[in-house]
Structure 1
């Protein structure tokens, strides 16, 4: 057994109360390495820890998920409609970034997600100052608002299928480390479920400011 102990979150839709999502962190033995088998061990260990604490049914949302629906809901698999075109969600997010000296990079909207991430990573244009999409500027705060908003927009038209087929208590993304990253597709999906349950999804999809107002100011 690994001697390394990691802590990772499970995101639960919150139907009532101020917050859209309840975040619960669990410690578990971490299997080091980049092999897919190691990542799947970590997913199983995290889900087992959550189950011991009463969260019976957890879905991993990432390309590493054992469940086909979890892989399908990965941001790397989703597409979003922009001006009548279906484009990779991750590429639209990356291409919408505005830096001090350049951006947005509309030309990468049709890139494969990993290619789009690499393109942005290699830019030398100063610090990130915001986002721009379809001629409108979006702020950096709340830090996860723009990414999450794109994610729920991509899935909003499929909410009936989601509510019929995706029946889980909580959601994880094993690649998400809250100490190093801001965006998390599992949290965004839990927000989607909460918005739908509260009958606020339609308004949130068309009104970024409204959606952002529902998130913690992080």
Structure 2
């Protein structure tokens, strides 16, 4: 997106990494990251969005924990819905994954044994692989907007992190999706972009019609 039009502003921060797989080590790294975000960019109220977060809100907003109810009454986590919607050259979508736990959904062997990913298909609606994060963002934002108790708390944050996200290995990021939700909320665009898939996709090319000046929401990696 062009400067002045972007909804999410990504910043890379050098911070002290605490090695080890223990949750406590991850949380030390998160504290270090947030300290540097304050020093370098003035982010005063950041939120770690992951199961490693020390803030219950960040844990609740993890794609493993964030749930939504479909029109047919099924309760899905964002992670299971995302993994179960994948379509590959040789198969998919594997709809039974919708009912799996998030960790089992992510680790399902079929996701690595059916060729290249070709698209996503969610309840009969297909999503292309481009824009790259569109389908994941759409799932996440639709889930979050159905959790009103979380919205009031998340919109006051001025930065979002995900200590597990590695941009060299992953494309989708739950912290970025949370930041995008807040940007759309604060610029009164949520209703418009959720009216249709076309409206939602339009914002990735900077084509969202809006009379307000877009705000920049810091996203820290």
Whether TM-score is above 0.5 comes out as yes
Other-structure match for 2:215: none
Matched, 1:115 2:70: no
What stretches of structure 2 of length at least 5 have no aligned partner?
A: 207-221
Higher strand share: 1
CA change 1:80–1:164 in 2 (3 A) is closer
Following superposition, the deviation at residue 161 of structure 1 comes to: 5.0
Other-structure match for 2:216: none
CA RMSD after TM alignment? 1.9
Matched, 1:29 2:16: yes
The separation in 2 between residues aligned to 1:25 and 1:216, in whole angstroms, is: 23
Matched, 1:105 2:94: yes
Total equivalences in the alignment:
202
Following superposition, the deviation at residue 29 of structure 1 comes to: 1.9
Q: TM-score, normalised by structure 2?
A: 0.85
Other-structure match for 2:34: 47
Secondary structure at the aligned position of 1:178 is classed as coil
Q: Which deviates more, 176-185 or 205-214?
A: 205-214
CA change 1:121–1:181 in 2 (3 A) is farther
Question: Does structure 2 conserve the Cα–Cα contact (< 8 Å) formed by 1:60 and 1:174?
Answer: yes
Report Cα offsets for 1:87-134 as digits up to 9, x if no partner: 122111000000001000111101100011111565411000110011
Q: 1:71 aligns with which of 39, 43, 59?
A: 59
Following superposition, the deviation at residue 68 of structure 1 comes to: 0.7
Answer 1 or 2: higher relative contact order, Cα 8 Å, separation at least 6.
2
Q: TM-score, normalised by structure 1?
A: 0.86
Secondary structure at the aligned position of 2:140 is classed as helix
